[in-house]
Amino acid sequence: MASTMLGDEMMTWLVTGLALAAVCVPATQGLRTALCAWSATRRVSFEELQSGKVDRAGASEPLALLMLRVLQKSLREGEREGQPSDFVYDATRQYVINEYEHHYARLITMYASLLPPIGFIGTTGGMLILFLSMHLADDSLELGALAIALTSSVFALMAYAGLEAMKIRVYSRLLDALRDVEALYQKADAKREQAAGKPAKLSGAAA
């Protein structure tokens, strides 16, 4: 009797471990990508934005600095071609968001999308094994089937919800970082317009 209970417990833990291992592969990859995105969307201080360098090195370059560098280059080229600065800013902002989507958001979504099918496969397989165990009247097999049917779905849904929640939080961090660049751009644009307007006022007064 004791050996039977021990065998049932071992079967349950073994199947639970297999279900957890199947979920851990995409969940770990998605979490690694989310952590890289967390580093890339960190906010940069005003002094660091002005200098174009960060004091602390990270796993990846902050997207705020990428936007600032691309914006400065685009504004110089836009002035020669006569393009409005607001148009250049909007295009640069969209470029940085596309970079975020390509390198981070899509990967997190793909890894997260693998988790519900894995949970469904585990549940379906567990139910098939459960029917087989009922036919064979095997209690240990029945417990293992119930374990894989329940734990695979629970682990998969928890990991899926965690990755999606982290993706939402990372996107919020990205918007905050881009707002800092926007504030710096608006200050520089106001100074540029003010400097461009002063000579006109002086020449009008002299006339």
Residue 172: count of CB within 10 angstroms of its CB: 11
What is this structure's pTM? 0.75
**Position 160 pLDDT exceeds 90:** yes
pLDDT per residue as tens digits for the range 112-123:
999 998 888 877
Q: Residues, the chain, total?
A: 207
- Name the band, by pLDDT with cuts 50, 70 and 90, for residue 103: very high
Say how far apart CA 27 and CA 4 lie, in whole Å: 34
> Running DSSP on this structure, what letter comes out for residue 102?
I
What values do phi and psi take at 130, rounded to 5?
Answer: -65, -45
In which band, very low, low, confident or very high, does the pLDDT at 97 lie, cut at 50, 70 and 90?
Answer: very high
pLDDT at residue number 124: 77
Contact 64, 184 (CB under 8 A): no
Tokens of 45: 């201080």
Task: Quote the tokens at residue 91.
Answer: 């295009």
In this prediction, residue 24 carries a pLDDT of: 87
Tens of pLDDT, residues 38-93: 999 998 887 777 776 765 555 578 899 989 889 888 888 877 777 788 888 899 99
Radius of gyration of the chain (CA): 28
| SS3 call for 100 | helix
